[in-house]
Structure 1
Amino acid sequence: MYFYAARQPILDKNKNLFAYELLFRDSIENIFPDIDGDEATSKMVEASQFHLGISEFTGNKPAFINFTLDTLTKDYPRMLTTDEVVIEILETVKPGKTLLNLCKELCSEGYILALDDYVHQKVWAHFYPYIKIIKIDWQETSIEQIQEIKQAISKFPQIQLLAEKVETYEEYNQALELGFDLFQGFFFAKPEMVKTKSLSPSQMAMAELLYETSKPELDLNSITSVFERDVSLSYKLLRYANSAIFRRRSEISTIKQALVTLGSGELKRFLGLMFATNVNPDKPSELINAAMTRAKFCELIAEDLKTPLDTSIAFLTGLLSLIDAILDESLDSILEKLPLAQEIKEALTTRKGVLAALIILVEQIEQAHWDKTSVVMEKLGLTKDKVVKDYKEAIAWADEQAQLQG
């Protein structure tokens, strides 16, 4: 059986990662509302226990998982620990004595309870002492309704407001001003403000290196000359090449020696790390993590296409697919300045061709648009198990890189 789960990040006020919501479907064909909520929840729990591994999929951050009244009654939440799950009570669950008693018990045991897509009713006041998070659909809730909710929960300081479906920085800032504590949506994956600016010498050096390593054959002389023009990058390369993880018998002391010793794969890995940490250190870590996940996913998928793509090109295309949000500049303006292969630029700007299809595929997975995912998979000739396996592996790899950076 296949388990399709996408994770959507939930960020705090400072745009740091707080948790993930896991969005589960039984199969790509079974899309809500066709699949029963009880079945979806039970299979999500089953997947986490026997197939998926919650901590493996969420990088040890809590997972928001939807629960219906039936799955709460059957004690499914207790199959997960208090550290790894936030119990999200679906908006379809009606407030009543049974639900209230379940909330009291779970809260007393240390579980965090959240109300999903909250629509205010006075009866929910009985539940407030046991609720830690209230999720509000930003696109469906008016400012007046939000103010009413804030007034209703004012005597319960433990309750945090989570703004869901926040799609722009303007919406994020507005929610922040209204007192929201947590934010879910793809605002962080879009440019904060579009402006024209020059790339720094370090950013240009990084762009040149990404271009050089995207070629089928590495030109060591060209790569060496780029490193030699940037003292900081050279120092980091030598430090990486001499790190304990490689267990070198003798110290590496020159740029060319480091490049030869690392080889193409490790060099690309190193540059990915440098890209993530240096291109814009003020950006949310989850944005960089998303770019790294896309890069690895595209690389893995490229190997299994009917007509295989160059994996280095696929990796770099995925890595740069969020560059406009990372640099806060329009994609066209950025790509004019970067010395990248034309096929990468065309994939990112025209959104046509096989490379672009890989980006579209991972975007649809991120947003759990399973019906659209199925269409792209069919066009690419990909199997379900391959896509699920590669997405999970890409997430694990990106999380590992994030830990190395930390």
Structure 2
Amino acid sequence: MYFYAARQPILDNEKNLYAYELLFRDGLDNVFPDVDGHEATTKLIAGSQFEFGLEDMTANKPAFINFTLETLLKGYATMCDPEQVVVEILETVQPGKRLLAIVKDLKEKGYTIALDDYIHNPVWRHFYPYVDIIKIDFQVLSADEIKKIQSDTKEFPHIQFLAEKVETHEQFETAQTLGFTYFQGYFFSKPEVIQSKSLAPSEMTLAELLYETSSAEINLKKITEVFERDVNLSYKLLRYTNSAAFKRRAEISTIKQALVVLGAEELKKFLSVLFAAQVSSNKPIELMSLSLTRARFAELIAQSHGQMKDTAMAFLAGMLSLIDAILDETMENALAKLPLSNEIKDALLKDEGVLAEYLQLVKHYEKANWESANTIIEQLKLNPKEVPDAYHDAVQWANTQLAAIS
């Protein structure tokens, strides 16, 4: 059985990762409303309990999972650890006595309760003592409507508000002004301010190494010399060769030996990860996590597609697909600082070439745009059964890498 699940980040006021919402579909060609909420929730719960752990998809952060009245009545929510799950009641569920009894019971058991895509209705007042989070579609409700909801819930100060579909930094600031605590959307992946940011010396060293390793024939002597003049970089290299992320272990006595043990492909990935981590140090960790996931996903898709001699190029394209947000610049200005191949530049600047199609696929997957993802899968003649596994593997790999370089 294959699970088509995507995750969408939920951040707090400081842009720290608070949780993920998990979105499930039964195959790339089955999009709501063809698959109802009951079936989606049932299979997501089954998958999380019997196929993959929630912690694999959420890096031990809470998972927001949608529940219908039917799945709540069947007690599916109680199959999950209350510390791991936020029970998100779908907007299609009508408030009533049965639902209220379930919510009370879940609250007594220690679950966090959220109302999804909330539309104001006085009958929900009976639920307010037990509701922790109210999710509001920021693209649907006006500021006045939001203020009305906040006014009517002010007697329940424990209720926090989550703004959904926050796609720009301006919307994020507006939502903050309106008193929202949590934010869901990809606003953090857009540049906040268009400005010039120069690369620090260590970043320039990494950029130089990226360039040196982009050649088909790697000059090991030159790369060794670059590492040997940066003690911090050398330390990270040695630590990485001995980390859980890198399975092979060996006694290392020189920088050159570490590079040989690592191998060209692993070295390229290591440098890409380190560069992105270095320049995004003052950015939300989720931005780095998303970059890593895109990089690994693109690489796995390239391997499956079999049309590229060097799949590390797909990895680097995925990693750099958010470099504009990391540097707070336009993509053009950001890439001007890096010596990259035309294939990568065409993908990131012109949305052209097979690399661009890999990136389009991962972006659709992130937002659970399954129909659009399926179109690309058909165009590339990929095996649709391998794509969900690639995404799941990419998420797990990103989690491991973040732990290794932190």
Shorter-chain TM-score range? over 0.9
- 1:47 corresponds to which letter in structure 2? G
Displacement of 1:325: 0.7
Q: Larger deviation: 336-345 or 362-371? A: 336-345
Separation in structure 2 between the aligned mates of residue 8 and residue 323 of structure 1, nearest angstrom = 19
- 1:336 corresponds to which letter in structure 2? A
SS at match of 2:305: coil
| CA deviation string 1:285-328 (max 9, x = no partner) | 01001100111111111111142441111111111111101111
Displacement of 1:247: 4.7
| CA deviation string 1:343-392 (max 9, x = no partner) | 11111111111111000000000010000000100111111111111111
| CA deviation string 1:216-236 (max 9, x = no partner) | 332113323433454432343
2:208 aligned with 1:208: yes
| CA deviation string 1:45-69 (max 9, x = no partner) | 1222222322222222111111111
Cα 1:91–1:305, aligned 2, differ >3 Å: closer, same or farther? same
1:189-338 to 2 correspondences below 5 Å: 189-241=189-241, 247-249=249-251, 251-253=252-254, 255-338=255-338
1:55-94 to 2 correspondences below 5 Å: 55-94=55-94
RMSD: 1.8
Displacement of 1:242: 6.3
Separation in structure 1 between the aligned mates of residue 346 and residue 243 of structure 2, nearest angstrom = 37
Separation in structure 2 between the aligned mates of residue 179 and residue 88 of structure 1, nearest angstrom = 21
Cα 1:222–1:6, aligned 2, differ >3 Å: closer, same or farther? same
2:184 counterpart residue number:
184
Displacement of 1:209: 1.5
Separation in structure 1 between the aligned mates of residue 61 and residue 199 of structure 2, nearest angstrom = 34
| CA deviation string 1:48-96 (max 9, x = no partner) | 2222322222222111111111111111111111122111001111111
| TM-score, with structure 1 as normaliser | 0.95
- Unmatched tracts of structure 1, length 5 or more: none
Contact 1:303 1:309 (8 Å CA) reproduced: no
Contact 1:10 1:18 (8 Å CA) reproduced: yes
Contact 1:21 1:65 (8 Å CA) reproduced: yes
Displacement of 1:119: 1.1
1:400 counterpart residue number:
400
Equivalent residues, number: 404
Contact 1:348 1:356 (8 Å CA) reproduced: yes
Cα 1:309–1:373, aligned 2, differ >3 Å: closer, same or farther? farther
Q: Larger deviation: 226-235 or 270-279? A: 226-235
Q: Larger deviation: 229-238 or 345-354? A: 229-238
Q: Larger deviation: 112-121 or 49-58? A: 49-58
Separation in structure 2 between the aligned mates of residue 219 and residue 9 of structure 1, nearest angstrom = 40
- 1:209 corresponds to which letter in structure 2? L
| TM-score, with structure 2 as normaliser | 0.95
| CA deviation string 1:21-52 (max 9, x = no partner) | 01111121111123222111112112222223
- 1:16 corresponds to which letter in structure 2? N
Separation in structure 2 between the aligned mates of residue 195 and residue 359 of structure 1, nearest angstrom = 25
SS at match of 1:303: helix
Separation in structure 2 between the aligned mates of residue 179 and residue 369 of structure 1, nearest angstrom = 30
Separation in structure 2 between the aligned mates of residue 241 and residue 36 of structure 1, nearest angstrom = 47
SS at match of 2:315: helix
Cα 1:22–1:241, aligned 2, differ >3 Å: closer, same or farther? closer
1:14 counterpart residue number:
14
Separation in structure 2 between the aligned mates of residue 199 and residue 55 of structure 1, nearest angstrom = 35
- 1:131 corresponds to which letter in structure 2? V
- 1:226 corresponds to which letter in structure 2? V
Displacement of 1:398: 0.1
Separation in structure 2 between the aligned mates of residue 241 and residue 67 of structure 1, nearest angstrom = 43
- 1:13 corresponds to which letter in structure 2? N
2:375 aligned with 1:391: no
SS at match of 2:113: strand
SS at match of 1:216: coil
Separation in structure 1 between the aligned mates of residue 240 and residue 86 of structure 2, nearest angstrom = 38
| CA deviation string 1:172-194 (max 9, x = no partner) | 11111221111100001111112
2:157 counterpart residue number:
157
| CA deviation string 1:238-268 (max 9, x = no partner) | 444466976544x524x33332232223323
Contact 1:210 1:316 (8 Å CA) reproduced: no
Separation in structure 1 between the aligned mates of residue 129 and residue 309 of structure 2, nearest angstrom = 55
